[in-house]
Amino acid sequence: MVAITPLRSPESGSLQTDKAAALAALESMLAIRSFEEAVDGLFARGLMHGTMHLSIGQEASATGVCAALKETDYITSTHRGHGHCIAKGADLTRMMAELLAKQTGYCRGRGGSMHIADTKTRNLGANGIVAGGIPIAAGAALAQKMRGETNVVVSFFGDGATNEGAFHEALNLAAIWDLPVVFVCENNKYGMSNSTELSMRVEKISDRALAYGIAGETVDGNDVDAVYQAAAVAVARARSGGGPTLLECETYRWKGHSKSDKNLYRTKEEIDEWKAKDPIERFQEIILSSGLVTQSEIETLIAKVREGTRDAIKEASAAPDSDPAELLSSVFREAN
Amino acid sequence: MTDRIITYSEAIREAIGQAMEADPNVFMLGEDIGIYGGAFGVSGDLYHRFGAERIRDTPISELGIVGAAVGAALVGMKPIVEIQFSDFTAQAMDQIVNQAAKIHFMLGGELSVPMVLRAPSGSGTGAAAQHSQSLEAWFAHVPGLKVVLPSNARDAKGLLLAAIDDPNPVIVLEHKLLYKTSGPVPEQMYRTPIGVADLVREGKDLVIVATGIMVSRSVAAAQQLAAQGIEATVIDPRTLSPLDMTLINDAIAATGRVILVQEAPKHVGFMAEIAARIAEGPALFSLLAPVKRICGMDIPIPYAPQLEKAAVPQLEDIVAGAVELMREP
Ligand SMILES: Cc1ncc(C[n+]2csc(CCOP(=O)(O)OP(=O)(O)O)c2C)c(N)n1
Ligand SMILES: [Mg+2]
């Protein structure tokens, strides 16, 4: 089993100048890409059941944000959550097992792609309900504050989610209670087929922070270091009692919304334009040309994540299928 | 056991206060529960005893409130949410139904949501259709939620303390007309187990199964019936999910006649579930007459007092129903 190197904050303050942090960030992005390409392939070959939402092209936001977090910080995630899960440190084999409906998966095959949670890495769960995790993140942050803990909660969600009432209620609560939470909007321009131009009149989603009297910022979501820097400021603000931030990461999903998407609402030119802004290639070029890392170091990472994905598929495939005989367990938690 | 006579509302407040003293993770959140003391006065002086941090006033934001409670519960707190009127749970349904109820199962059993959601339920206050509903069947239909309906002060305290202890989301529907009613309540902390029905009154001729405000109304009806020589057993399930059918089945076996009484509309109401369980189980063969339901009319709760009364079962309806049932062959 290949363990993905945990993300770390750069001592230099920039992922572009701290070698260990840069390599970890690159490894995380490569692992997300490799895992999701494999998932895409398994679906295409009919070997995977259900549905899934890929974040290929968006790896920098999950990675840059999680690089600014401590192990004890929490996240809430979305239907497009594989990247968040991996960046927070989840085990690829247990993730793959969940997607393959195995007993050894994170949810024992009950949740699938859209519902992975991982108590160990403090991932409070992906969510099948758009914006469902945002109020939950505010509540987890409230708990930190009430208990005098210094942990921060990050809530990931999409541009579409910011049109839900849950987003607005959660931001307002977090604002009035100065909660240690960072709201990270991964603006990939579309909620399914509905573009941000059609779905809102604000120029930037981060402008919505104004309505709640909290800090709002928009960053290039395909620049992992820019995401990290902005997240680090927001996380520090949250941790020191300065309250929430709405951080918008402008990015793009290369693949369709889910497996049924025919991409009728966007052009091939637009997709290609964004592919040219590949967050992984961009970061590789920066750290290669500055001499921070070598080509062979990058190749080693690529080989490592590929092996990690292959192993995950192999181990997960060999695991027992989830068991209908225990379906009635865990509807309720037994009292201790 | 030192029982005092206190109100249903005081009993709930006492339970919350004792739970908060015993466990720093217990806190309350809701609209106007602080200095105002709660729309029905339930939180009362708790704000002065525990402060604004733990008796947490919220904006008018039901989805946000329940979501915040779910999140806090996920990481080890024990929130008690007060939704001002049970009707407003409609605003928060995503967090109740799709989040709180599902998280333990859907995520494979590791995380759980030890949240209590209390809300005033039922009609009788002239508040009309949007402030008077009895929505217990909505919640009882969702696996993963426990649903309790305390019908008296003693159970209000005991069931609430059990709900706070419970590691799962528990919906507690309190009846508005019961808040000012009084009864004997032990001073110390005690738990009324969730999932155990209560034998309120014993009689040999028929069984009345009733929930919420209909329990005391059925007891009053049983007293009138006794004067006519009809002896009724009254059973209060207390908990709709999980449901305890043992007492009900045994009582039907002993009497052969059963009336099911609820305030909520009849169509697809909770008593339909009890009727179905009777039909599926051994009690069916003890029946001497068809199961009889006495329920609210299938209409929104109206405003005018005479209309509102007509919309839900009254004492006379229960008495008349029992007399009629006794005339069946
Ligand atoms: C409450 C709700 N409404 C609709 C859906 C169906 N749905 C799933 S994902 C999605 C688009 C969400 O868009 P966005 O928030 O931008 O996230 P993205 O998919 O772009 O990552 C929709 C409409 C849902 N799951 N939940
Ligand atoms: Mg989107």
> What's the mean pLDDT in A69-96?
98
User: pLDDT at position B1, please?
Assistant: 59
Instruction: Classify A19-317 by CATH class.
Output: alpha beta
Are A140 and A76 spatial neighbours (Cβ–Cβ below 8 Å)?
A: yes
Are A257 and A190 spatial neighbours (Cβ–Cβ below 8 Å)?
A: yes
User: pLDDT at position A278, please?
Assistant: 98
User: pLDDT at position A1, please?
Assistant: 79
* Percentage of residues in chain A having pLDDT higher than 70: 100
Contact residues on chain B for A332, CB-CB shorter than 8 A: 104, 144, 146, 167-168
Lowest mean pLDDT among A28-37, A259-268, B266-275: A259-268
A143 lines ligand 1 (CB under 6 A): no
Contact residues on chain A for B71, CB-CB shorter than 8 A: 76, 124, 135-143, 153
CB hemisphere CA count around B145 (13 angstroms): 25
User: pLDDT at position B193, please?
Assistant: 98
User: pLDDT at position A326, please?
Assistant: 87
B74 in A contact zone (CB under 8 Å): yes
A191 lines ligand 1 (CB under 6 A): yes
pLDDT at A336 over 80: no
For the domain spanning B198-327, the CATH number is 3.40.50.920
**Best A332, A334, A336 residue to mutate vs chain B (most B CBs within 10 Å):** A332
A140 in B contact zone (CB under 8 Å): yes
> What's the mean pLDDT in B32-43?
95
To test ligand 1's pocket by mutation, which of A130, A159, A168, A254 has the most ligand atoms within 8 angstroms of CB?
A130
Minimal C-alpha gap between A290 and chain B (Å): 43
User: pLDDT at position B328, please?
Assistant: 87
Q: Does the distance separating the beta carbons of A135 and B109 come in below 8 Å?
A: no
pTM score, two decimals?
0.92
Contact residues on chain A for B165, CB-CB shorter than 8 A: 335
CB under 8 A, 24+ apart: contacts of B275-282: B277/B243, B277/B245, B277/B248, B278/B248, B278/B249, B278/B252, B281/B245, B281/B249, B282/B249, B282/B253
pLDDT at A9 over 70: yes
Q: Does the distance separating the beta carbons of B75 and A140 come in below 8 Å?
A: yes
Is B175 part of the annotated catalytic residue set?
no
Nearest to A142 among B68, B108, B144 (CB): B68
Name the CATH topology of B3-186.
Answer: Rossmann fold (3.40.50)
The string of pLDDT tens digits covering residues A11-59 is: 999 999 999 999 999 999 999 999 999 999 999 999 998 889 999 999 9
b/e per residue, A56-67, with b = 16+ CB within 10 A? bbbbbbbbbbbb
Minimal C-alpha gap between A238 and chain B (Å): 17
B31 in A contact zone (CB under 8 Å): no
ipTM over 0.85: yes
Contact residues on chain B for A120, CB-CB shorter than 8 A: none
Lowest mean pLDDT among A124-128, A137-141, A257-261: A257-261
User: pLDDT at position B246, please?
Assistant: 97
Domains B3-186 and B198-327 share a fold: yes
List B10, B62, B136, B273, catalytic entry: B62
pLDDT at B132 over 80: yes
Nearest to B61 among A137, A144, A172 (CB): A172
Distances from the Cα of B32 to the Cα of A1, B52, B89, angstroms:
54, 11, 16
Mean pLDDT of chain B: 97
A133 lines ligand 1 (CB under 6 A): no
A80 lines ligand 1 (CB under 6 A): yes
> What's the mean pLDDT in A301-328?
96
Is B131 part of the annotated catalytic residue set?
yes
User: pLDDT at position A202, please?
Assistant: 96
User: pLDDT at position A3, please?
Assistant: 95
User: What are residue A76's DSSP bridge partners?
Assistant: A155
User: pLDDT at position B2, please?
Assistant: 80
HEC secondary structure over chain A:
CCCCCCCCCCCCCCCCCCHHHHHHHHHHHHHHHHHHHHHHHHHHCCCCCCCCCCCCCCHHHHHHHHHCCCCCCEEECCCCCHHHHHHCCCCHHHHHHHHCCECCCCCCCCCCHHHCCECCCCECCCCCCCCCHHHHHHHHHHHHHHCCCCCCEEEEEECHHHHCHHHHHHHHHHHHCCCCEEEEEEECCEECCEEHHHHCCCCCHHHHHHHHCCEEEEEECCCHHHHHHHHHHHHHHHHCCCCCEEEEEECCCCCCCCCCCCCCCCCHHHHHHHHCCCHHHHHHHHHHHCCCCCHHHHHHHHHHHHHHHHHHHHHHHHCCECCHHHCCCCCCCCCC
Domain ranges across chain B = 3-186, 198-327
Minimal C-alpha gap between A39 and chain B (Å): 20
